[in-house]
Structures are given as C-alpha cells and as structure tokens.
C-alpha cells in the first residue's frame, strides 16, 4: 500500500525530523533531530515504523495536510 500526504500549508515552524546524527560531533556535525526524541520513537512504534523514521514536527498551528490515494495514519 502506498500512502501519500500532500502538505497544503506548512505553518510557521514545521519540519521533517528524525533522531539526528549522534556520534559525529567530533567532525563538527551537530546532533540535531527531533525536539522530543522519545515522542518520535513512541509515534513510530505505535505506527509500526522503524524507530528513526522521519516525522513532521511542528511547534505552532497552521499545518494543513491532505491525504492522496489512500488513508494514512497520523
């Protein structure tokens, strides 16, 4: 099953985040990643995804999405 999500309006502070880049600080690469990594892990576990599957992270309202072709789990 392929599911597609169209971002109609991204809102002010929406971005795609994964668990970041641990282990590369010595090379000057910041860890970055999700603001709440435990919540990302929980959301992915609930959906049956790999732990590090990226998700849309947003801090304020304004995000509008539309599903295309088939249902998606949000």
Report the C-alpha gap between 67 and 44 in whole angstroms. Answer: 19
pLDDT at residue number 58: 85
pTM exceeds 0.75 for this model: no
Tokens encoding 67: 């599903």
Contact 32, 16 (CB under 8 A): no
Over 70: is that where the pLDDT of 74 sits?
no
Digit-coded pLDDT (tens) for 26-58: 888 888 899 999 999 999 999 899 999 999 988
Report the C-alpha gap between 6 and 53 in whole angstroms. Answer: 18
pLDDT at residue number 49: 92
pLDDT at residue number 1: 60
pLDDT at residue number 36: 92
């Amino acid at each position: 099953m392929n599911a597609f999500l169209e971002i109609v309006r991204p809102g002010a502070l929406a971005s795609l985040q994964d668990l970041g880049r641990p282990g590369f600080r010595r090379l000057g690469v910041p860890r970055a990643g999700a603001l709440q990594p435990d919540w990302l892990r929980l959301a992915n576990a609930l959906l049956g995804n790999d732990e590090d599957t990226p998700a849309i992270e947003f801090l304020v309202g304004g995000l509008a999405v539309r599903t295309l072709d088939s249902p998606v789990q949000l």
